[in-house]
A and B are shown apart, each in its own frame.
Chain A
Amino acid sequence: MGQVNRRSVLLGGLAAVTAATALPSWANARTAAAVPPAIHDPFQLGIASGDPLPDSVVLWTRLAPAPLNADGFGGMPDATYAVDWELATDENFASVVKSGSVDAVRASAHSVHVEPAGLDPAREYFYRFKTAGYISPVGRTRTAPAAGAAVNQLKYCFTSCQHWEEGWYHSYKGVVRDDPDLVLFLGDYIYEKPSGRVKSELNPRRLAVPQDTTTLALYRARHGQHKTDVDLKAAHALAPWLVVFDDHEVMNNWNGTTSPAPAARKTAAFQAFYEHMPIRSTAKPNGASIQLYRQFLWGDLARFHMMDTRQFRSAQVTGTACGPYRDPARTLTGTAQEQWLLKAFETHPATWDFLGQQVFFAQRDGDGNNTTCESPDSWDGYQASRDRITQGWIDRQVPNPVVLTGDVHRHWAADLRKDYYDHSDPIVGSELVTTSVTSNSDGAAPPDAAWLANNPHVKYCKGERGYVRVTATPAQMLADFVVVSDTSVNDPAKLVIKTDKSFVVNAGSKGLQAV
């Protein structure tokens, strides 16, 4: 690691010095507390919204004029900045309905979370921030329909797994084109380490700060670089997001124990995650603890259970002997989250019951032998947990349960059973697994005929990058599996974003039907 040359530092600091001296003379007489130092345009990470309720939605930004700085402070001075915000019913802000000011402080990496209340349900709003003489881009968001309100359609997109180095985020061009009401992100928003893919020659970009994210500063810098992607910023500005994490926001395959991720690493990762996501203050971390699982209702049409399948899970098992995989004492969700979910199943406020979560829910058993088990990081590794939730759908007569999944870097569609070895066991729900935005599946062969014969509940698999678009109505749920032709090139002219396969589920009738 080299030294910093004095000449470069002077030159690098020149713009800031010029900006400071451009202030009027009276400004220099004020205290630092009264007038924080002048900064460059701090809205480099864009804006975002999320967690919509019928009367409120989270508005987010972070001040970071130099977002790649390894110290994690994004080029912000050690000072507090007042950030004004506005919420309007029109994109020109002629009709501002809510406004206010919040302090962006160094302890929170100058991130801003605003939760305006008293909004109208099922309404589109526009928002923006102002600070230090700069105005942010404008974001569009919407509130959820009121509980019980008749809703004739909900369109949302969901995706996961966006290793920075492994591709351009073209999926979000498709998301923006689709103009959804909601966007769901199901985990692996960042990766804690550089790409290790075999076909590294296909990686079109690299991390600016490539060290493994073991500190808060490094997690902040990693999130900061991700938020510089123009397509990701556009998708955040388009619609409210529901975000949950998987493992790589902390480290690969972490769990509820302190190995492989000790408490200090979870603490740093959770803090940076909160600082960079449009999530509610109820999710503000307390050390190595974060309250991430939560529910959302979209009128009488849809309910989302957004799950945390990392923080409370038992440690992954090893080997293929099925005993530990089926141990009822082991859990993927933790007891409290499981009881919270099962309690929710007792009410049926909406036609569609979506379980937004991270890891493959349906069984995948390549040899069809029920004495050998595999995939210990997925629900296959926590079969008793899966059984309790599946039985919960059955016992509580949950209408139209659909699991939404990320993690595996391939599109999959599957039906859900209580007993996957009994191929005539009734279907109780369906699972839609999104592929990744960029993270690779190099070397993953498609399932062969023998594999599919052992897993007839699996209807589809596609190893390309993309996302899933869901259009739900009171009568039907349409799932379009969208693929991106190439994430290694940045030229839109060479890009094709198209639907590869579609399935429907008819309300009240279990099982995926190919379109």
Chain B
Amino acid sequence: MRVGVRAEGLFRSSDAHFVVYDTNADGSSAVVQYWLATGAGPFYVWASGGQGTSVDKAVAVPKGSWVFYKTCTGHNTSPPTFAGCSAGLTDFAA
């Protein structure tokens, strides 16, 4: 899932990992927001290393369960801020 051409995130169903890519030197981080079947969310996977970097992170999505996620650009502040987000997508852990 891509936001413009500045960030990309994908869910790897086989082992329930998110991979987040920062694809633009725009001063923003790339981040995936995701929601779980428990009603909790959003949780975040940040790629804050700058353009060309990525983060690969395991997330707690049980086998067969779903995860709804969006790819965004933003800043990992408290609270986080977002410059833009993609539409959401549901995927399932294999």
Complex alpha-carbon distance, A201 and B77, angstroms: 13
Residues of A within 8 Å of B35, CB to CB, are: 68, 208, 225
Interface flag for A498 (CB, 8 Å): no
Interface flags, A77-92, vs B, CB<8A=1, else 0? 0000000000000000
Specify the chain B residue showing the minimal Cβ separation from A164: B39
Interface flag for B91 (CB, 8 Å): yes
Interface residues of B (CB under 8 A from A): 1-4, 7-13, 35, 37-42, 64, 66, 68, 71, 79, 84-92, 94
Complex alpha-carbon distance, A75 and B37, angstroms: 13
A4-B2, A68-B35 are contacts. A201–B79 as well, Cβ < 8 Å? yes
Partner of A8, one of B1, B4, B41: B1
Partner of B39, one of A2, A5, A14, A230: A230
Q: Shortest CB–CB separation between residue A210 and chain B, in angstroms? A: 10
A68-B35, A68-B68, A228-B37 are contacts. A5–B87 as well, Cβ < 8 Å? no
Residues of A within 8 Å of B39, CB to CB, are: 169, 205, 225, 228-230, 232
Complex alpha-carbon distance, A41 and B93, angstroms: 12
Instruction: For the A-B complex with A40-B66, A69-B88, A69-B90 known, give 19 more contacts whose Cβ atoms are closer than 8 Å.
Output: A1-B84, A4-B2, A4-B89, A8-B1, A11-B11, A11-B12, A11-B91, A12-B89, A12-B91, A15-B92, A44-B66, A75-B90, A205-B39, A205-B41, A205-B42, A206-B42, A208-B35, A208-B68, A228-B39
A4 touches B86 (CB 8 A): yes
A5 touches B90 (CB 8 A): no
A2-B2, A2-B4 are contacts. A14–B41 as well, Cβ < 8 Å? no
Number of interface residues of A (CB under 8 A): 36
A12-B11, A40-B92 are contacts. A2–B84 as well, Cβ < 8 Å? yes
Q: Shortest CB–CB separation between residue B20 and chain A, in angstroms? A: 11
B68 touches A2 (CB 8 A): no
Partner of B8, one of A5, A15, A232: A5
B86 touches A208 (CB 8 A): no
Complex alpha-carbon distance, A206 and B39, angstroms: 10
B90 touches A8 (CB 8 A): no
Complex alpha-carbon distance, A209 and B35, angstroms: 11
Partner of A2, one of B38, B71, B90: B71
Specify the chain B residue showing the minimal Cβ separation from A5: B2
Partner of A5, one of B1, B64, B88: B1
Contact residues, A316-340 vs B (CB, 8 A)? none
Complex alpha-carbon distance, A4 and B84, angstroms: 14
Partner of A15, one of B7, B88, B89, B91: B91
Residues of B within 8 Å of A206, CB to CB, are: 41-42
Residues of B within 8 Å of A366, CB to CB, are: none
B79 touches A1 (CB 8 A): no
Decide if the interface of chain B is mainly helix, strand, loop or mixed. Answer: strand
B91 touches A2 (CB 8 A): no
Residues of B within 8 Å of A2, CB to CB, are: 1-4, 7, 71, 84-87
Specify the chain A residue showing the minimal Cβ separation from B71: A2
A8-B9, A66-B68 are contacts. A208–B42 as well, Cβ < 8 Å? yes
Most chain B beta carbons < 10 A, residue from A4, A206, A208, A490: A208
Complex alpha-carbon distance, A8 and B9, angstroms: 8
Interface flag for A65 (CB, 8 Å): yes
Residues of A within 8 Å of B84, CB to CB, are: 1-2
Residues of B within 8 Å of A44, CB to CB, are: 37, 66
Specify the chain A residue showing the minimal Cβ separation from B70: A208
Interface flag for A18 (CB, 8 Å): yes
Q: Shortest CB–CB separation between residue A393 and chain B, in angstroms? A: 41
A18 touches B94 (CB 8 A): yes
Residues of B within 8 Å of A7, CB to CB, are: 10
Complex alpha-carbon distance, A5 and B86, angstroms: 10
Residues of A within 8 Å of B12, CB to CB, are: 11
Contact residues, A1-46 vs B (CB, 8 A)? 1-5, 7-9, 11-12, 14-16, 18, 40-41, 44
Interface flag for A70 (CB, 8 Å): yes
Complex alpha-carbon distance, A208 and B43, angstroms: 11
Q: Shortest CB–CB separation between residue A123 and chain B, in angstroms? A: 32
Contact residues, A190-248 vs B (CB, 8 A)? 200-201, 205-206, 208-209, 225, 228-230, 232
B64 touches A40 (CB 8 A): yes
Partner of B90, one of A1, A68, A230: A68
Most chain A beta carbons < 10 A, residue from B7, B86, B89: B89
6 closest Cβ pairs, A-B complex: A66-B90, A2-B86, A2-B3, A68-B68, A229-B39, A5-B2
Q: Shortest CB–CB separation between residue A223 and chain B, in angstroms? A: 13
Most chain B beta carbons < 10 A, residue from A11, A16, A65, A225: A11
Most chain B beta carbons < 10 A, residue from A14, A201, A225, A228: A228
Contact residues, A408-443 vs B (CB, 8 A)? none
Q: Shortest CB–CB separation between residue A14 and chain B, in angstroms? A: 6
Complex alpha-carbon distance, A66 and B35, angstroms: 11
A70 touches B87 (CB 8 A): yes
Q: Shortest CB–CB separation between residue A6 and chain B, in angstroms? A: 9
Complex alpha-carbon distance, A15 and B66, angstroms: 11
B92 touches A8 (CB 8 A): no
Residues of A within 8 Å of B13, CB to CB, are: 11-12, 14-15
Complex alpha-carbon distance, A209 and B90, angstroms: 12
Residues of B within 8 Å of A8, CB to CB, are: 1-2, 8-11, 89
Residues of B within 8 Å of A12, CB to CB, are: 11, 13, 89-91
Specify the chain A residue showing the minimal Cβ separation from B66: A66
Contact residues, A157-206 vs B (CB, 8 A)? 169, 200-201, 205-206
Residues of B within 8 Å of A230, CB to CB, are: 38-39
